[in-house]
Amino acid sequence: MTNLDPDGQFSAFYRAHYSLILATVARRLSDFATAQDVTSEVFRVAWAHHVSGGELTLAWLYAVARNVVGNEYRRRSRAAALADKAESQAYEAHSSMNEEASDTRRAMMRLKDSDREILFMAYWEDLSGAEIASILDCKLPTVWVRLNRARNALKHELGGPAAEVLGDLRERGANAHG
């Protein structure tokens, strides 16, 4: 293996300044593990500078540390903004779904027991038309008529734009149970 630091100049520079740079970075970041990572990056940049023939000075090293700490601040800011945005979107989606689900539950509870039962079997329990016919002890065409009647009753209970959900249910029902 080739020794890239034959005179030990970088090794001596590293030993002389590592603790100082780590302490400086740790004070600015208030997180020791991240400070260690940032300090490693500072000395990686210093190594690349040294290998390319650049002069290593404490002032230069501080400038690199300041830049890498700045990068960490920007990374944290972006991560926090992303987390806030994700949390906000999740909350909005959850609220919207809960509202729609609550409307649907209330509408389902206003249906006749027989309509509610067949809708639950078809869409929540995901039973096929043949399975529903067997459970209800009736013929398959009777299941489709009852299911259509129950969907219309639910659509009437939901009213307005909420009834569009039934279009999706009808498509899913026809595909899954047809």
Q: What is the pLDDT of residue 64?
A: 95
Domain 9-85 has CATH 1.10.1740.10: yes
- Averaged pLDDT in 10-residue chunks for the chain of 178 residues: 72 95 92 94 95 92 94 87 76 61 78 86 87 91 93 84 51 50
Q: What is the pLDDT of residue 162?
A: 45
CATH class of 111-177: mainly alpha
Give, for 57, the enclosing helix (H) or strand (E): none
Residues 6+ apart with CB under 8 A from 39: 18, 21, 22, 25, 65
21: nearest Cα among 58, 74, 57: 58
Domain with CATH 1.10.10 in the chain: 111-177
Q: What is the pLDDT of residue 32?
A: 94
Q: What is the pLDDT of residue 56?
A: 93
Distance between CA 94 and CA 88 in Å, rounded? 10
Domain with CATH 1.10.1740.10 in the chain: 9-85
